[in-house]
């Protein structure tokens, strides 16, 4: 006899968000008819991430009564965030890449900008060059800075290079010519020839991936795209049939680094735009929750199994960048300004060559995972430290679905403790203190180093391990408020249900910001807008759901860095140009402290952000009730605190029994399926109308 859940009639309105991390795969379900949000969590499968995703979605839908036969109609949307591209870049597991470039530029990937990331680190290792020198081919061709042809493309040389790459087993080819962003004809011809000689290879040209100036960054971007292309193609080709087999027929979407989503097919062609696919939607969800809660100055803290991602939100706006360095590789692509550090629940603790305690960046991942999982690991992790101190439940996780063994964690940490001459608990706390210091350093990069005082911000903690470490991190930074959303462990998955379809288009054209250039400025902006309109049509987005935002990157003549200036809607005329000049002066003053009156301003890169507005999960509010939280208590557990240096009896609360308006004090622990929240002594907790935990720290 089937259980009751399996007999529930489907609502034909489910929206599904899936976030695949290094340790867990999170699933968030939103029922558009009732407004209910549900979550599910399964272990990731690093050998084939698509398998864990399929299992998670299948179990989540089955648990909510959506049988396979009903899913084609019941599931209206499926969005997915992944770390596949990021992990391939970090681990060097990308494809064998060949490069075709303008004669004289073969070694540009290694020469770069001739800058060291750390001026005084003489032993710093440069990131691996993604294309071996013997697979970098020069061909005769040259465009002038105007885009006019100075030397025609040597098509025979392109064909010869393609045949050599084919014989060398190259799986992906990047094509990048000088000034191709002004005139892509040579790149188009070269791409056609290579496709004829290498029909099975992944091909990409710089004018399609990053049609902007600065040849090194453009070359780096198209090379990274080629490096990741076959990996992403293989991943998507495995995942799509799994969705089909389980009855989910809606076209799936993948998150981009800019926080928006695109169809799988588009994502497979531009994997370089998905290097921050996983963490970006967590920031999107944090912005939505913070805005509804009336808190607009937020530092987001997303701690998972492998890494921690942090971002700063001032006045409700998330900083976005159009150029960034990801794991040592310059990338020209729109992305949220997220800083990542190798500090997660699975980060491995060890003793370095100097005899000091080190935590991360190496991670135990999902398999074998932390020692306490009992899967054969012998190197202790941050999770093991939390198990030893009993901050985490010492017998099980995920509401009892995952058993853990504290004795194994104790034995593993005891080996490190013996080398340090410390007790087991002191060593476990030392692991947590080190990882907290690593995370605090990451937050200072996006705050203090950019003129923001973190003490004026609230820390929004999410990810499976974020709420576990949030208060200690806030104390380290002198912050006074921590916000823990209702479902922090799956917030990145939830963000997929709070974001829109989005694509970014750009074109570099250097022109002065003055009345005499109005026609050129207007024409260039219109050309980029036409690209955006073509994307709207391709995605079949109704006219009433289309939104565009225009920007121009500007600088004073002679400067080498630009500032993005919003362009109002409407026809570009003389009055609007004057407004742009004023806006640039204000932005320059805000960034550098001054503006130069009368100095010529240049427009450099024209941008259009195209957004297709979709239905989103609703963040409903509730009335505040009584302050007494006794009904949510489930028992006590002895937890070790550094303040006392001993185990202290700590109240346990069930998150699903806490209601808006309730208030209680630490020491306490709030447990739920997807995470655990630690509330040390002298911390007060209240639950707001959105079911957020608001933790107030004593100053």
Q: Are 604 and 660 within one domain? A: no
Q: Are 49 and 177 within one domain? A: no
Q: Mean per-residue pLDDT for 250-267?
A: 85
Q: Are 24 and 153 within one domain? A: no
Q: Are 598 and 653 within one domain? A: no
Query: What's residue 22's pLDDT?
Result: 65
Q: Helix-strand-coil percent breakdown of the chain, rounded to 5? A: 35, 30, 35
Query: What's residue 1's pLDDT?
Result: 35
The parent domain of residue 17 ranges over 1-82
Phi, psi torsion values for 95, nearest 5 degrees: -85, 165
**CATH code assigned at 569:** 3.30.1490
Pair type for strands 329-331 and 335-336: unpaired
Distance CA 225, CA 203 (A): 9
Closest by CA position to 492, among listed 240, 689, 300:
300
Do residues 142 and 178 make contact, with C-beta atoms less than 8 angstroms apart?
yes
| pLDDT over 80 (residue 122) | no
Query: What's residue 666's pLDDT?
Result: 85
**Which helix (H) or strand (E) segment is 602 a member of?**
strand 601-612
21, two tokens: 């991390």
The answer to whether residue 438 sits within a structural domain is no
| pLDDT over 80 (residue 617) | no
Query: What's residue 366's pLDDT?
Result: 67
User: CA 470, 475, 477, 483 torsion: positive or negative?
Assistant: positive
Q: Mean per-residue pLDDT for 81-91?
A: 80
Q: Mean per-residue pLDDT for 70-84?
A: 83
| pLDDT over 50 (residue 610) | yes
The answer to whether residue 348 sits within a structural domain is no
144, two tokens: 């002038």
**Greatest Cα pair distance in the chain:** 82
Q: Are 69 and 129 within one domain? A: no
675, two tokens: 């995470």
pLDDT tens-digit series, residues 327-372: 788 999 888 888 877 788 888 898 887 888 988 777 787 678 899 9
Lowest-pLDDT choice from 166-175, 374-383, 526-535? 374-383
Percent of the chain with pLDDT over 90: 50
Q: Which long-range CB contacts under 8 A does 259-262 form with residues at least 24 apart?
A: 259/283, 259/284, 259/318, 259/336, 259/495, 259/499, 259/502, 260/499, 260/500, 260/501, 260/502, 260/503, 260/611, 261/79, 261/496, 261/499, 261/500, 261/501, 261/502, 262/501, 262/502, 262/503
| pLDDT over 60 (residue 660) | yes
Lowest-pLDDT choice from 143-147, 165-169, 447-451, 477-481? 447-451
Work out the mean pLDDT of the chain and round it to a whole number. 88
Closest by CA position to 202, among listed 324, 88, 310, 96:
96
Q: Are 219 and 127 within one domain? A: yes
Q: Which residues lie below 8 Å from residue 201, measured CB to CB, with a gap of 6+?
A: 165, 166, 170, 171, 172, 173, 194, 195
Q: Mean per-residue pLDDT for 121-134?
A: 84
Query: What's residue 186's pLDDT?
Result: 97
Highest mean pLDDT among 49-58, 121-130, 323-332, 630-639: 630-639
The answer to whether residue 187 sits within a structural domain is yes
Distance CA 380, CA 481 (A): 31
15, two tokens: 């929206």
Q: Are 72 and 102 within one domain? A: no
Q: Mean per-residue pLDDT for 398-405?
A: 84
Q: What is the full DSSP assignment across 492-550?
A: HHHHTTS--EEEEEEEEEEEESSGGGHHHHHHHHHHHHHHHHHHHHHTT--GGGEEEEE
Total domain count for the chain?
4
pLDDT tens-digit series, residues 110-120: 888 877 767 77
Do residues 330 and 365 make contact, with C-beta atoms less than 8 angstroms apart?
no
Q: Are 634 and 574 within one domain? A: no
The answer to whether residue 409 sits within a structural domain is no
pLDDT tens-digit series, residues 383-399: 999 999 999 999 888 87
Distance CA 613, CA 545 (A): 5
Distance CA 459, CA 300 (A): 6
pLDDT tens-digit series, residues 478-529: 999 999 998 887 777 778 888 888 888 999 999 999 988 999 999 999 999 9
The answer to whether residue 510 sits within a structural domain is yes
43, two tokens: 């272990």
Q: Which residues lie below 8 Å from residue 392, measured CB to CB, with a gap of 6+?
A: 383, 386, 404, 468, 676
Last residue of one domain, picked from the residues 234, 261, 291: 234
Q: Are 588 and 656 within one domain? A: no
**Which helix (H) or strand (E) segment is 419 a member of?**
helix 406-420
The answer to whether residue 204 sits within a structural domain is yes
Last residue of one domain, picked from the residues 51, 82, 113: 82
The answer to whether residue 326 sits within a structural domain is no
Do residues 224 and 174 make contact, with C-beta atoms less than 8 angstroms apart?
no
| pLDDT over 80 (residue 598) | yes
Lowest-pLDDT choice from 285-289, 469-473, 579-583, 677-681? 285-289
Distance CA 212, CA 225 (A): 15
Highest mean pLDDT among 103-112, 154-163, 296-305, 492-501: 154-163
Q: Are 162 and 218 within one domain? A: yes
**Position 10 confidence tier, pLDDT thresholds 50, 70, 90:** very low
**Position 447 confidence tier, pLDDT thresholds 50, 70, 90:** confident
Q: Are 219 and 141 within one domain? A: yes
End-to-end CA distance of the chain: 58
**Position 472 confidence tier, pLDDT thresholds 50, 70, 90:** very high
Degrees, nearest 5: CA angle 688-259-48: 105
Q: Mean per-residue pLDDT for 28-53?
A: 81
On the CB side of 476, how many CA atoms lie within 13 Å of its CA?
19
Q: Are 21 and 78 within one domain? A: yes
**CATH code assigned at 119:** 3.40.50
Distance CA 693, CA 698 (A): 16
Last residue of one domain, picked from the residues 234, 262, 297: 234
């Amino acid at each position: 006899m089937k259980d009751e859940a399996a007999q529930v009639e489907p609502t034909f309105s489910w929206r599904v968000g899936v976030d695949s991390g290094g340790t867990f795969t999170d699933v968030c379900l939103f029922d558009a008819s009732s407004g209910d949000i549900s979550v599910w969590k399964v272990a990731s499968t690093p050998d084939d991430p698509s398998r864990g995703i399929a299992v998670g979605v299948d179990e989540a839908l089955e648990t909510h009564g959506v049988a396979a036969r009903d899913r084609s109609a019941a599931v209206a949307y499926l969005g997915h965030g992944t770390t596949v591209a990021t992990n391939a870049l970090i681990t060097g597991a990308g494809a064998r890449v060949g490069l075709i470039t303008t004669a004289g530029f073969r070694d540009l990937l290694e020469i770069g900008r001739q800058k060291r990331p750390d001026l005084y680190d003489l032993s710093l290792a440069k990131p691996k060059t993604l294309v071996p020198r013997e697979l970098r081919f020069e061909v005769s061709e040259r465009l002038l800075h105007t885009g006019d042809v100075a030397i025609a493309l040597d098509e025979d040389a392109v064909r010869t290079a393609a045949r050599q790459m084919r014989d060398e087993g190259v799986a992906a080819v990047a094509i990048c010519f000088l000034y191709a962003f002004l005139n892509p004809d040579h790149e188009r011809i070269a791409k056609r020839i290579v496709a004829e000689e290498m029909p099975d290879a992944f091909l990409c040209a710089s004018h399609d991936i990053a049609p902007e100036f600065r040849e090194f960054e453009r070359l780096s971007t198209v090379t990274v795209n080629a490096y990741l292309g076959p990996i992403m193609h293989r991943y998507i080709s495995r995942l799509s049939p799994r969705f089909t087999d389980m009855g989910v027929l809606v076209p799936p979407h993948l998150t981009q680094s800019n926080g928006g989503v695109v169809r799988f097919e588009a994502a497979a062609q531009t994997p370089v735009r998905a290097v921050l696919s996983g963490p970006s939607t967590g920031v999107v969800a944090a912005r939505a929750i913070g805005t509804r809660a009336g808190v607009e100055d937020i530092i987001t803290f997303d701690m998972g199994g492998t890494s921690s991602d942090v971002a700063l939100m001032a006045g409700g706006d998330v900083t976005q960048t159009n150029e960034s360095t990801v794991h040592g590789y310059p990338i020209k692509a729109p992305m949220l300004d997220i800083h990542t550090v190798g500090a997660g629940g699975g980060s491995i603790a060890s003793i370095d060559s100097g005899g000091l305690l080190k935590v991360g960046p190496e991670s135990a991942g999902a398999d074998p995972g932390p020692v306490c999982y009992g899967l054969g690991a012998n190197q202790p992790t941050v999770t093991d430290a939390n198990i030893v101190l009993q901050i985490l439940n010492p017998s099980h996780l995920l509401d009892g679905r995952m058993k853990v063994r504290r004795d194994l964690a104790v034995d593993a940490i005891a080996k490190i403790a013996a080398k340090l001459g410390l007790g087991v608990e002191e060593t476990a706390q030392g692991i947590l203190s080190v990882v907290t210091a690593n995370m605090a350093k990451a937050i200072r990069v996006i705050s203090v180093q950019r003129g923001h005082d973190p003490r004026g911000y609230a820390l929004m903690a999410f990810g499976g391990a974020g709420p576990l470490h949030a208060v200690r991190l806030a104390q380290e930074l002198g912050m006074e408020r921590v916000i823990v959303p209702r479902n922090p462990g799956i917030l990145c998955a939830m963000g997929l249900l709070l974001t829109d379809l989005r694509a970014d288009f750009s074109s570099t054209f250097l022109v002065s910001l003055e009345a005499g250039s109005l026609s050129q400025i207007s024409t260039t902006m219109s050309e980029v807008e036409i690209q955006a309109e073509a994307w709207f049509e391709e995605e079949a987005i109704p006219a009433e759901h289309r939104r565009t935002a225009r920007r121009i990157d500007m600088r004073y003549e002679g400067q080498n860095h630009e500032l993005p200036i919003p362009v109002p809607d409407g026809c570009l005329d003389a009055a609007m140009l004057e407004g742009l000049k004023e806006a640039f002066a204000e932005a320059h003053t805000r960034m550098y402290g001054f503006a130069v009156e009368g100095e010529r301003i240049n427009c450099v890169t024209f941008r259009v952000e195209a957004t297709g507005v979709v239905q989103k999960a609703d963040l409903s509010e509730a009335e505040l009730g009584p302050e007494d939280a006794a009904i949510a208590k489930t028992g006590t557990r002895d937890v070790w605190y550094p303040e006392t240096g001993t185990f202290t009896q700590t109240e346990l609360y069930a998150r699903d029994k806490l209601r808006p308006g309730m208030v209680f004090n630490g020491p306490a622990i709030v447990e739920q399926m997807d995470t655990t929240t630690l509330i040390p002594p002298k911390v007060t907790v209240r639950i707001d109308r959105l079911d957020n935990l608001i933790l107030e720290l004593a100053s």
